[in-house]
Amino acid sequence: MANAIEEQDALDWVKNDKRRMLHVVYRVGDLDKTIKFYTECLGMKVLRKRDIPEERYSNAFLGYGPEESHFAIELTYNYGVDKYDIGDGFGHFGIAAEDVAKTINLIKGKGGKVTREPGPVKGGNTIIAFIEDPDGYKFEILERRLTSEPLCQVMLRVGDLDRSIKFYKKAFGMDLLRKKDNPDYKYTTAIMGYGPEDENAVLELTYNYGVTDYDKGNGYAQVAIGTNDVYKTAEAIKLSGGEIVREPGPLPGINTKITVCLDPDGWKWVWLIML
């Protein structure tokens, strides 16, 4: 009985924890080239940049506002590595724009690669377009009214959508914001997050009929989420069937406490205490 009560306490705490998606991390082959594309074509700003020569990598944070209040991108460049395998599990990032056609014309003018021209989404009315960045990462441009969070979505493919929804609700405390089945195109999507999707970055999970496993490649890395307590977070993840691959605790040399986990499909998530 005591263990059952402790488990319920841990899972109840998840829903009361103050959580926010902080940034998404992935690897690129030419940091300066990617920064130029994101700032000139997508209107992002460089929030900070650092070089760590002793560990042979550099990284840069980009986004549409301060990291304290906005979702951001963390680009990582490893010395001497100019190409990565993105795999078929990672889907795309989402960017909201008031005028998709205007945004696409700008991207074309800068030499960007457009893989889907502006038009209504299949089975709906929202105007979207798709582009690729210099490394081949896909971005979906979605037409929306002016929003405080233009960097609005990370899409990952999963092998069992109901299992994933249950995990993210229980272990991560996310809400299922909407779910849509598209039988004509043989896929189902679920939008999950910590607030309305027109005001917050969200996770889009996609299940393709009959596909249970994906190649994750070595380009996409992880999403970081802020939490008030990495120790309680790790315990709740374990109780929900997730795998902790880095036990909670401070990073060497600094006070930041983190824990790292894998979801049921092996997607990696990093949890940080927000200072």
Q: Which burial class, exposed, middle or buried, applies to 133 when counting CB atoms under 10 A from its CB (0-12, 13-18, 19+)?
A: buried
What would the two tokens of residue 225 be? 């989420």
Could you give the count of Cα atoms lying within 13 Å of 48 in the half-sphere of its Cβ?
A: 8
Annotated binding residue 199: no
Pairing, β 127-132 against β 175-182: unpaired
Annotated binding residue 70: no
What would the two tokens of residue 115 be? 């893989």
Report residue 245: phi and psi, to 5°.
Answer: -105, -10
209 near 187, Cβ under 8 Å?
A: yes
The Cα 153–Cα 268 span in angstroms is 16
Annotated binding residue 92: yes
200 near 194, Cβ under 8 Å?
A: yes
C-alpha 123 chain-centroid distance: 24
122 near 107, Cβ under 8 Å?
A: no
SS3 content of the chain, % helix, strand, coil (to 5): 20, 40, 35
What would the two tokens of residue 224 be? 């970081």
Query: Would you name the residues annotated as active-site residues?
Result: 140
225 near 270, Cβ under 8 Å?
A: yes
Which parts are annotated binding residues? 74, 92, 140
Which parts are annotated binding residues for Zn(2+)? 74, 92, 140
